[in-house]
Amino acid sequence: MSLLTAIERMGGRCYHMKVVLQNTLEGRGDLYKWFRIAALEPFDAERLRLLRELFAGYDACVDAPACYVYEELRHLFPDARVALTKRDASRWLASVCDTVLRPHRFAQRPLVRVCMAIIDLVWRIPVVGGIGIIGKIAALPPAVAMRPYLDEHGELLDFYDEHNHDEIRARYHHYIEGVERAVPADQLVVLEAPYEDAYRELGPIFGVEIPADEPWPHVNDRKDVNRSLDIVMALLVIVPLTFVGALLALVYALLTAPRLAVVVVAVVVATIVGVRWLLRWLLARVGQHDAAKRSPAPP
């Protein structure tokens, strides 16, 4: 989020996982296009077409899933500059385990698997629509979300198993080294934590002069991110159980008190509207939670 924020403050339009989810909620289907991309071979013509379609109109892209198709993006946009961020591998591993992988781990629990199966059945109903995205978020295929960290069976390595940590850190370094080998030096911009010189490196690319005292926007507040993730994980259980309960109530009402069925339907519709609003609010909050910390954007 910090690099995304910096790029946007420099006037760039940036593609990020937040955009994937927002566009999917708005009916543009980005998440499902990424599922399709994950199922195709690298450099497949259809895969390249989908990538070009997804990134049309954007000046930059950061984070997953874009970072795992950088070779194809370089093929599509050969003159683009590539920014490679580096940080201590152990600190990165701890951060990933404590934030973005929590929903994935939560989704492996038996009850949650049942709830997600219910979501998968009902999300195709037109009036339900984007509600199903909450299940898809937590169940993002590893091939989409964390490609370099798959085992020989295509499953995500267990980041919570200490026996895997050396392997995970090695793969982290391998990914970085792969980018450094693949991208010509004159197109590569290396940004190292704590990113004190990042604005100076990126400013000329976006044609913006950054004041020397302009601080890098460190906006990934772990507690704030986890609060949002807690809501998503709660919805994974609450929404499908609400649907099942409402369905049973509707059947009972139709059999015993038809007038009550109208009330049940109204409750279901109100739940759908409420969950959609909550998801949009969450996405907006993820992008704006640091607004109070930001100084005015450079001219």
Peptide bond into 194 cis (omega under 30): yes
Q: Residue 189 and residue 176: Cα distance in Å, rounded?
A: 12
Q: Residue 13 and residue 284: Cα distance in Å, rounded?
A: 16
Residue 96: name the closest of 120, 63, 66 by CA: 63
Task: Look at the block and give the residue holding tokens 């898809």.
Answer: 136
CA atoms within 13 A on the CB side of 12: 21
| pTM for the full predicted model | 0.75
CA dihedral 96, 97, 98, 102 (to 10 degrees): 100
Residue 32 CB neighbours (<10 A): 12
Strand runs labelled E in 227-294: none
pLDDT bracket for residue 137 (50, 70, 90): low
Residue 136: name the closest of 40, 232, 26 by CA: 232
* Radius of gyration in angstroms for the set of CA atoms belonging to the chain, rounded to a whole number: 21
Mean per-residue pLDDT, 268-286: 67
Mean per-residue pLDDT, 164-181: 95
Strand runs labelled E in 90-242: 188-192
2-293 folds as Rossmann fold (3.40.50)
Residue 159 CB neighbours (<10 A): 19
Q: What six digits make up the tokens of 116? A: 């997600």
Q: Residue 243 and residue 271: Cα distance in Å, rounded?
A: 9
Kindly report the backbone phi and psi dihedral angles of residue 96, in degrees, each rounded to the nearest multiple of 5, phi listed first: -60, -45
pLDDT bracket for residue 94 (50, 70, 90): very high
Give the tens place of pLDDT for each residue, 247-257.
788 788 778 87
DSSP readout, 24-68?
A: HHTT--HHHHHHHHHHSPTT-HHHHHHHHHHHTT-SEE-STTGGG
Give the tens place of pLDDT for each residue, 96-133.
888 888 887 888 889 988 887 777 666 555 444 455 55
Strand runs labelled E in the chain: 14-15, 60-61, 82-86, 188-192
Residue 246: name the closest of 234, 262, 223 by CA: 262
Is the pLDDT higher at 137 or at 168? 168
Report domain extents, the chain: 2-293
Give the tens place of pLDDT for each residue, 182-219.
999 999 999 998 888 888 889 889 888 888 778 888 77
Residue pair 117/237 in contact (Cβ under 8 Å)? The answer is no
